[in-house]
Structure 1
Amino acid sequence: MWQQLIEIGWWLVAAQCAIGIVRLLVVFETKPRETRIVSDLMAGLIHLLTLFAVINFVFAVPVGGLLATSGVIAIVLGLALQSSLSDVFSGVAVGIERPYSPGDLVWVEGGIEGRVVQVNWRSTHIATLNGDVAIVPNSVMAKARLVNHSLPTKVRRVSITVKVAANERPDRCMAVLDAAVKTCVLLSATPPPSVARSELQGDGVTYDISFTIPSIEVFVDARTELLGHIQSHLRHAGIALAVPGVPIQGRLQVPTAATLREESDWFGVLAEADRSLLADQLVEVWFAAGDQLMRRGDDPKVLFIVASGTVEITDGLPGSTEVIFRLGPGGSLGAIGMITGTPYAATATALTPVTAYRLDRKGVGDAIAARPDLVKSLEVLARRGQELNRRDVVARQSDHVDPPEMFLSKLRSFLQKISESPHNDDQRRRR
């Protein structure tokens, strides 16, 4: 009996050594987390062979009949556990082929999309984008169409389509869509986005906009940003979207300077009479791509309201290319610096041809000289100073924002200087 126990122990030690060697080889060749199923399968096979070896060599019992009996039992169990065994062997296939691994973002036919959190013998656990965990049998994973968004890299190239009215000039549509794409900050710069005409029909022209995102997880936010800028740029350019089945669309009305003032964060709170008074001082200006509207550290003398095109705001430091923000039609910049006298804290550069309306200190002074009560209306802006300062990207010197009372004091100082300027004194003498 002792001799048999020693022989059994020897076989068990040999089996454990064999299992250790197999697992070591599997780990060296692949990733340990991905090969758990394969290594467990090899360990089970070695234990089974060890059992037959002990029966045959230690107890001297022929294993032929036992193998035949076990074969019948295996067939019966296989038929009874067909579904479970299908999942198990599919899990083995998944472990060997490794089409996905824990941590990968995958899409599975049937509407399941999320990140793989676990792969076991029977199923794959996927944390969906809705915050749930979907448990998918391995047999389903093996048969279903699957897209691994994490291979070969997380970077993804996606596209959306926009269909505009057929009576618009093609070059103008391309320019407006290109400006809208360049306004986005969530899209990757490399490879650059592209705009191409893909379909021409009587009821409209289809444009494909292709862009790259750093990860599929930001796709929803990137698409939302892009569609918003496209809508804004098309509206300010007077380009209508196509209506299926309607051959010709009338052109949209391009927002006028009055509309821009009304929708502006700065002038929208003023009364119509005051906005009209300041509108007389607005000057339409044009910038080519690459022109600078303002530079970091310059004396703040003007503010701009963008009518068309895209303006990029950077920190303006030597050797730095950090992008703070991008402005499209309807955006304004430079007002905080002009009112508080604080030098510009950023540089604004035209990414595309830009049309804007310019208002300088002299224009504000002329409007006040014509209507002194305008000072009270402008003080309304000061009470919103904290929010306006947050939105004026070229005024950001730090995360600290002056309280509204401090902003009001600076505005009053600015208005007093304008009112005391020699130009306004001459206008008062003429009146």
Structure 2
Amino acid sequence: MTKEAAQISATLLLFAAMIVPLMTRGWPLWARAAWQLAAFIALTYLVLRTVGSPFGPEFDTVQPGARIWQQLIEVGWWLIAAQCAIGIVRLFVVFEAKPRETRIVSDLMAGIIHLLTLFAVINFVFAVPVGGLLATSGVIAIVLGLALQSSLSDVFSGIAVGIERPYSPGDLVWVEGGIEGRVIQVNWRSTHIATPNGDVAIVPNSVMAKARLVNHSMPTNIRRVSITVKLAANELPDRCMAVLNAAVKTCMLLSATPPPSVARTGLEGDGVAYDISFSIPSIEVLVAARTELLGHVQSHLRHAGIALAVPGVPIRARLDVPSAATLLQESDWFGVLAESDRILLAEHLVEVWFAAGDKLMKQGDDPKVLFILASGTVEISNDTPEWPEVIFRLGPGSSLGAIGMITGTPYAATATALTPVTAYSLDKQGVGDAIAVRPDLVKSFEVLARRGQEMNRRDVVARQSDDAEAPEMFLSKLRSFLRKISETPRSEGQRRRR
């Protein structure tokens, strides 16, 4: 190959080397590195045929135009060499599976390679000594380093973060100083954290490198949390443990694996401390999970008559357990009735007990009774073989089965006792006996029809679909139910009332 042909081929290859990268941005790193290496090898051969060694080129001294052409080819060779070196560095330092922010190290190395390439071009292509230039640039670098000390600290801290990777975009982190949120970006200078308040905290990388940091997303998103409840010292320990365990089992937001646990951790004259440990699927639901748990703990303790401890004040008397009439008063369903009507119905409630695992109601059964829970936890589940699921869990004070009994709709779910359960039951015969004592109770029951649409949505045991019935239809069914039980013969003295 002649010298002129080599120059033309080298020029065409340089154009190709500039155009092909624009067309191969979607290629993997290894493919782009392979292309750059192949182009560099081919261009090296052509440069050797044109000007000799790139480190000691022999340019044309007769024709100025040919000399400039050869110098441009030599400059292009150094640029291709730099790109090839950068491609190989990125291939070993940055992998496709890593986030964009981890390229800080390779970007810094690319900058160093470009700087060295600039000095090489000045020295070998244009034959300008770089000794004085290096000395001058060293002084400038020192001045700039002192002026940009803080920024350089952030940059090198960002490099350390990129290498160590204590967190990545998407991780939920806590940073010493009260900053907590989800990492949305890691760049050269800072880390951006989206806080729960809707703000973005921009923390310099130098601060992130020095501060204590907790990554809530590593090794998994599941978090273990503990809360402490201090109960009155006059209560039986086993009873307190049973009530707290029932409260924990009522929660829906806690993870089943690892399971929650309750342990006694302190004993003093004014109270006994119990630690409730539980897991949540993500730290983002911590507030909601803690609120749910504390609410159920309060409800279960109140219905069990167990008082919270008061620091420095020993509690000796037990709290009053809510009566059947109180449960009716606080019930979403029966709370709208007049006090006299609730008292009358409370006299016809029958106290029943269930062991853990017993079925209070079974999906598909005809509704015959309603329950008001006094203690324990009941799980409402869908037993459909194709799509079994837990719908909800109920604790003390909740009622179930009222609408099904009134409307005659078969139970759409199964109610299972997760713990020993105490409940008050009321069947059709009990309602009929109450109406026999006070016929005006029929009008009070019709008041419930005004809330029929809302309660039909909330009574998951009775619900058949998500479409709520019109209040007029519910009122019709209620009147039909009251008419039937009014016509049913009743035998007094055959029921145990409370």
- Match for residue 268 of structure 1 among 322, 335, 351: 335
Secondary structure of the structure 1 residue equivalent to 2:288? helix
Amino acid at match of 1:159: S
1:131-190 per-position Cα deviation (integer Å, ceiling 9, x unaligned) = 111111111111111111111111111111111111111100000000000000000111
1:96 is matched with: 163
Among 266, 271, 280, the residue aligned to 1:199: 266
1:302 is matched with which residue? 369
Of 46, 61, 70, the residue aligned with 2:137 is 70
Q: Look up the match of 1:428.
A: none
Supply the AA of the counterpart residue of 2:353.
W
Q: Does 1:353 align with 2:415?
A: no
Alignment of structure 1 residues 21-420 onto 2, 5 Å: 21-28=88-95, 31-318=98-385, 321-420=388-487
Question: Cα deviations across residues 58-86 of structure 1 (Å, max 9, x unaligned)?
Answer: 22333333222222211111111111111
Any idea what SS the aligned residue of 1:20 has?
Answer: helix
C-alpha spacing 1:246/1:415, structure 2 compared with 1 (3 Å): same
Answer with 355-364 or 309-318: which moved more.
309-318
Question: Aligned partners of 2:96, 2:435: CA distance in 1, in Å?
Answer: 79
% of aligned pairs identical?
Answer: 86
Q: Distance in 2 between matches of 1:77 and 1:27?
A: 29
- Cα offset for 1:30? 5.5
* TM-score scaled by length of structure 1: 0.96
Distance in 2, matches of 1:248 and 1:365, equals: 44
Distance 1:134 1:221 in 2: 24
Is 2:248–2:297's contact at 8 Å kept on the other side of the alignment? Answer: yes
3-state secondary structure, aligned to 1:234: helix
Q: CA deviation at 1:248?
A: 3.0
Distance 1:243 1:36, change over 3 A: same
Deviations 1:323-379 (A, max 9, x none): 101000000000010000000000000000000000000000111111111000000
Q: Secondary structure at the match of 2:91?
A: helix
Query: Which SS does the other structure have where 1:191 is aligned?
Result: coil
Where do 5+ consecutive residues of structure 1 fail to align?
A: 426-431
Counterparts of 2:272 and 2:462 in 1: how far apart (Å)?
Answer: 41
Q: In 1, distance between residues paired with 2:339 and 2:71?
A: 104
Task: Write out per-residue CA displacement over residues 24-79 of structure 1, whole angstroms, 9 at most, x where no aligned residue.
Answer: 33333750423221221111011011112112222233333322222221111111
Greater CA radius of gyration, 1 or 2? 2
Of residues 48, 53, 72 in structure 2, which corresponds to 1:5?
A: 72
Stretch moving more, 338-347 or 31-40? 31-40
C-alpha distance in 1, partners of 2:491/2:382?
36
> Residue 249 of structure 1: CA displacement?
4.8
For 1:197 and 1:292, the matched residues in 2 are separated by 31
What amino acid is aligned across from residue 236 of structure 1 in structure 2?
A: H
Judge which range, 43-52 or 57-66, deviates more. 57-66
Q: 8 Å contact 1:263–1:330 — kept in the other structure?
A: yes
**Aligned counterpart, 2:490:** 423
How far, CA to CA, are the matches of 2:99 and 2:223 in structure 1? 28
Counterpart residue identity of residue 310, structure 1: T
- SS of the aligned residue for 2:168 comes to coil
Aligned position for 1:429: none
Structure 1 contact 115–127 (Cα < 8 Å) conserved: yes
Distance in 2 separating the partners of 1:34 and 1:100: 11
**Partner Cα distance (1:369, 1:379) in 2:** 16
Instruction: Tell me whether 212-221 or 24-33 shows the greater mean CA deviation.
Output: 24-33
Amino acid at match of 1:290: G
Alignment check: 8 A CA contact 2:280 2:286 kept = yes
Q: Which moved more, 1:351-360 or 1:93-102?
A: 93-102
User: What secondary structure, in the 3-state scheme, does the structure 1 residue paired with 2:272 have?
Assistant: strand
Q: 1:96: how far off?
A: 1.0
TM-score normalised per structure 2? 0.83
Q: Is the 8 A contact 2:101 2:185 kept in 1?
A: no
Where 1:28 maps in the other structure, the secondary structure is coil
- Contact 2:104–2:158 at 8 Å: present in 1 too? yes
SS at match of 1:96: helix
